[in-house]
Structure 1
Amino acid sequence: MNPRGDSLILIGMPGSGKSTVGILLAKELVKGFVDTDLLIQEREGQPLQEIINNADFQALRNIEEQVLLATDFPNHVIATGGSAVYSDAGMNHLRTYGRVVFLDVPLDELQMRVTNYAARGIAAPHGQTLAQLYDERRALYRRYADITIECGARPPSDLVSDIIYESGEWYAEVDA
């Protein structure tokens, strides 16, 4: 068994497919699934964008950190919000549950997928473009990633296969 646990934590930019891939991965591996953005919305009783509108992006990041630190999800696939990597404490807590998988999607693909950037509930300063956010976050995603999956425009089922393959030794140990 991996000393850090048997969960998989998905990180990446908004629009990278963390929730979509996470659900499919959880089904394939027979694990629970949790989306931390949904945990935030449930806790706050409002969508992410309303949190930003009523306070600011930093308030959302602070709430996100509190939610990450309160998680207790062994044997799960955990889809994080794109800004989870701003919380060193939150990411280190999540890492105690398992490996971190970075879904690396090129900027041009993200720009096609994220058509509602200003209203999507993205924890970014007002006026920051998706390209600027991408440049800012990419190093953080790489810093925390145990596994990086090059996504491009590939279908989610291919990404699930890659994640299982890339973490194969780990799952062999878990099953032993």
Structure 2
Amino acid sequence: MDKILLIGFRATGKTTVGKLLSEVLNWDFIDTDQEIQKRSGKTIRKLVEEKGWQHFREIEKEVIKSLVEKSKVVISLGGGGILHQQEIKALKQKSFVVWLRASPKIIIERMLKDEKTLEERPKLTSEDLTTEVVQVLTLREPLYQEFADLTVDTERLSLEEIKSFILDRFSRFKN
């Protein structure tokens, strides 16, 4: 077991926690959204505006496929990456999968505080933010649950507690 895969909705802490874990483990850190931006030469917002969600998902799928053979890496999977079930199944075989979870209320609070939300994160639906978060989360939660080896509620724990909890469970899981 030489990968940790962080899954979950937007604004649940995947990138922040992933960077912390990679530092402690002395592993590489890969954020699939950043990889998509590198490959396309555009921000996600710009890519989706110009080419649409389907094109974004195609690049995302290729990025996920490319990670299967990587080792000693912590991966932050974009919130919708879980929709590529076949690729996630292949990645899961060599990964400890952690679902970072938060309630819609907390996700919305975090998104509104985060400058990236407006600049980089395109809307997923035509609905208002609250409706969008609730609807999309309702669709994705069963997939997060299905693939997760560990679920961590990010609402009440500090980053240090989250990091320590994941590392403890990871050491037990891989042995």
Over the matched positions of the two proteins, sequence identity in percent amounts to: 26
Within the candidate set 93, 98, 101, 1:96 is matched to 93
Within the candidate set 142, 148, 161, 1:139 is matched to 142
- In structure 2, give the amino acid aligned to 1:79: S
5+ long unaligned stretches in structure 2 = none
Q: TM-score, normalised by structure 1?
A: 0.87
More helix by proportion, 1 or 2? 2
Structure 1 residues 59 and 118: alpha-carbon distance in aligned structure 2, compared to 1, 3 A threshold: farther
Partner of 1:68: 64
Deviations 1:53-91 (A, max 9, x none): 012222212211111112232111111100110001221
Check conservation: 1:50, 1:121, Cα contact below 8 A.
no
Separation in 1, partners of 2:123, 2:139: 12
Q: TM-score, normalised by structure 2?
A: 0.87
Separation in 2, partners of 1:122, 1:74: 31
- In structure 2, give the amino acid aligned to 1:55: K
Partner of 1:106: 103
1:33 paired to 2:29: yes
Separation in 2, partners of 1:119, 1:141: 26
Check conservation: 2:13, 2:154, Cα contact below 8 A.
no
Check conservation: 1:57, 1:123, Cα contact below 8 A.
no
Separation in 1, partners of 2:132, 2:165: 30
Secondary structure of 2:142's match? Answer: helix
RMSD of Structure 2 on Structure 1 (CA): 1.8
Mapping 1:1-176, distance limit 5 Å: 5-71=1-67, 72-115=69-112, 117=117, 119-122=119-122, 124-127=124-127, 129-171=132-174, 173=175
Equivalent residues, number: 168
